[in-house]
Amino acid sequence: MGFPTNFLWGGATAANQCEGGYNEGGRGLANVDVVPIGKDRFPIIAGIQKHLAFDDEHFYPAKEAIDMYHRYKEDIALFGEMGFKVYRLSIAWSRIFPNGDESEPNEEGLAFYEDLFKECHKHGIEPLVTITHFDCPMHLITEYGGWRNRKMIGFYENLCRTLFTRYKDLVKYWLTFNEINMILHAPFMGAGIVFEEGEDKEQVIFTAAHHELLASAAATKIAKEINPDNQIGCMLAAGNYYPYTCNPQDYFAAIQKDHENYFFIDVQSRGKYPNYALKELERKGIKLPIEPGDLELLAENTVDFISFSYYSSRTVSTDSELNKQTEGNIFASLANPYLEASEWGWQIDPLGLRSTMNQIYDRYQKPLFIVENGLGAVDTPDENGYVADDDRIDYMREHIKAMKDAIDLDGIELMGYTSWGCIDLVSAGTGEMKKRYGFIYVDRDNEGNGTLKRTPKKSFDWYKQVISTNGEDL
């Protein structure tokens, strides 16, 4: 009993939050580069502000990030020292196709990831690659309007074919879109969308969603054609909704909120648009731009496994008095009085992970993969740069116990666990460095000061022991 012997323990990062080197190696500019830290970040993420170029007033943390572009060997060696079996990372699309619409890829970008994957294998680490993690070449946004344009599918297919061919012998686990449901909350990051004055935002979002879902199915098809061993996953920003009370209205509101998120995975895993969504879209007058052959493509190319991020459960009420947003969270959620919260207001709910796993597994009956989980917190190093991050260890211990119960008591198939930000990196939501998740401390602050030196934290040794005992010694 306990974790299966081939369980994939590891950690996760995303290119734009750790690589830096934004203008090196022939890389083109991407949406994620022009999003600053501070109060002007969110309007851009939400697609409602059009300021899409660097200026002197703002600090753009993705430009240098934690400089993994130059330090990946050192970082992967540290992951190897912890005993990682898998490392989840993402490809920066604009390193491979700087503008996104070229027919030939940038060799320097391809060579960079080839070397990085070889470095992983040298340490016995299997790469798990997210093809797009909130990134989109800027040219595809300014010229084509991002994923609202059907042409994006072809550009994405070109990217996928290039990656699957070049890395055929190096990578077999792929995720098509990070947190595909994030398009509802962060359309600029999720789909390169900047809204025009007066347009129907929901129509634009669901048009882009249809294109991404088609692109994901097309990627699955191409992946299998190139190498039948390829394993393709979808990726959901997960976390069940609880009804705030047992009022049937609240219970039904929770079902509807869960539907908002499952909409995407229902298509990627079951191969068809769910009836509840078709009805809702019809009521709202939103039209999916379905063309001949689209529904067949979706039906015939479903994913092999369901991956998801889980940081917190969510709570919903139909009482308008209660409806205020939990601070610091892209997902609107009420504070749950039974739970404690992190310094950024993200509520901590390990049992919620087990509930979420049950709900997803009941729904799809496919293996699950937890590809993000962790505690974003302020770390204070001692004079030697060492951080005793006991709160992070406690958070992870309780979540791993919940995973174990889901396996042992509920019979859920779980392929692996990659905790988020295994090395400190830039926060996607806020752009801060101060919000740290890592086992490895990186000397860098919100303003970009610091030596970038890496120092293992207390959680580094703890996680090493978790992995070496296959989750027995927590």
429 contributes a contact to ligand BG6 by CB under 6 A: yes
| Residues touching ligand BG6, count (CB under 6 A) | 14
Smallest gap from residue 206 Cβ to ligand BG6 (A) = 21
Residue number with CB closer to ligand BG6 (317 or 329): 329
DSSP strands (E only) in 83-136? 86-90, 126-132
Residue number with CB closer to ligand BG6 (317 or 430): 430
Smallest gap from residue 378 Cβ to ligand BG6 (A) = 12
385 contributes a contact to ligand BG6 by CB under 6 A: no
Smallest gap from residue 176 Cβ to ligand BG6 (A) = 14
What the block records as the tokens of 131 is 């093809």
Residue number with CB closer to ligand BG6 (180 or 267): 180
Among 88, 211, 392, 435, interactor with ligand BG6 by CB under 6 A: 435
35 contributes a contact to ligand BG6 by CB under 6 A: no
Find all residues with CB under 8 Å of 425, minimum gap 6, and list them: 13, 14, 17, 18, 65, 66, 433, 437, 438, 442
Tokens 């070049």, residue located = 166
Residue number with CB closer to ligand BG6 (14 or 171): 14
Smallest gap from residue 330 Cβ to ligand BG6 (A) = 7
Total count of residues recorded for the chain:
474
Residue number with CB closer to ligand BG6 (155 or 344): 344
Neighbours of 99 (CB within 10 A): 16
89 contributes a contact to ligand BG6 by CB under 6 A: no
In the 8-state DSSP scheme, what is residue 6? T
What the block records as the tokens of 411 is 């019979």
Amino acid at 299: A
Stretch binding ligand BG6 (CB under 6 A), from 70-78, 388-396, 425-433, 459-467? 425-433
- Compute the distance between CA of residue 323 and CA of residue 357 in angstroms, rounded to an integer: 26
Tokens 């539907």, residue located = 259
What phi and psi, each to the nearest 5 degrees, are found at residue 455? -135, 120
CA distances from 247 to 203, 243, 324, 403 (A): 32, 8, 19, 30
Neighbours of 365 (CB within 10 A): 10
Closest CA to 180 of 279, 265, 269, 95: 265
Residue number with CB closer to ligand BG6 (205 or 407): 205
Residue number with CB closer to ligand BG6 (189 or 357): 189
Smallest gap from residue 56 Cβ to ligand BG6 (A) = 25
Find all residues with CB under 8 Å of 315, minimum gap 6, and list them: 241, 242, 243, 244, 333, 334, 335, 336
61 contributes a contact to ligand BG6 by CB under 6 A: no
CB 28 within 8 A of CB 94: yes
Smallest gap from residue 14 Cβ to ligand BG6 (A) = 5
Helix (H) or strand (E) holding 11: strand 8-12
List, in sequence order, every residue forming a beta bridge with 310; answer none if it has no partner. 238
Which residue's beta carbon is nearest to the bound ligand BG6? 429
Distance in angstroms between the alpha carbons of the first and the last residue of the chain: 15
Q: How many Cα neighbours within 13 Å face the side chain of 58? A: 21
223 contributes a contact to ligand BG6 by CB under 6 A: no
376 contributes a contact to ligand BG6 by CB under 6 A: yes
Residue number with CB closer to ligand BG6 (178 or 356): 178
420 contributes a contact to ligand BG6 by CB under 6 A: yes
- Strand 173-177 and strand 126-132: the pairing is parallel
Neighbours of 256 (CB within 10 A): 12
Stretch binding ligand BG6 (CB under 6 A), from 214-222, 238-246, 269-277, 426-434? 426-434
CA distances from 9 to 280, 301, 368 (A): 39, 27, 13
309 contributes a contact to ligand BG6 by CB under 6 A: yes
Among 66, 209, 237, 415, interactor with ligand BG6 by CB under 6 A: 237
- Compute the distance between CA of residue 159 and CA of residue 162 in angstroms, rounded to an integer: 5
Task: Write out the binding residues for ligand BG6, residues 249-288 only, by CB under 6 A.
Answer: none
Smallest gap from residue 103 Cβ to ligand BG6 (A) = 30
CB 143 within 8 A of CB 151: no
Stretch binding ligand BG6 (CB under 6 A), from 21-29, 107-115, 423-431, 448-456? 423-431
Among 3, 10, 11, 14, interactor with ligand BG6 by CB under 6 A: 14
Residue number with CB closer to ligand BG6 (134 or 156): 134
Among 75, 250, 266, 372, interactor with ligand BG6 by CB under 6 A: 372
- Compute the distance between CA of residue 252 and CA of residue 257 in angstroms, rounded to an integer: 9
Smallest gap from residue 268 Cβ to ligand BG6 (A) = 17
Smallest gap from residue 364 Cβ to ligand BG6 (A) = 20
Is residue 88 classed as helix, strand or coil in its secondary structure?
A: strand
459 contributes a contact to ligand BG6 by CB under 6 A: no
- Compute the distance between CA of residue 294 and CA of residue 289 in angstroms, rounded to an integer: 9
What helix, strand, coil percent values describe the chain, rounded to 5?
Answer: 40, 15, 45
Residues carrying an active site annotation: 372
Stretch binding ligand BG6 (CB under 6 A), from 31-39, 47-55, 403-411, 429-437? 429-437
Task: Write out the binding residues for ligand BG6, residues 161-180 only, by CB under 6 A.
Answer: 178-179
Q: Which residues contact ligand BG6 (rule: CB under 6 A)?
A: 14, 17, 178-179, 237, 309, 372, 376, 420, 427-430, 435
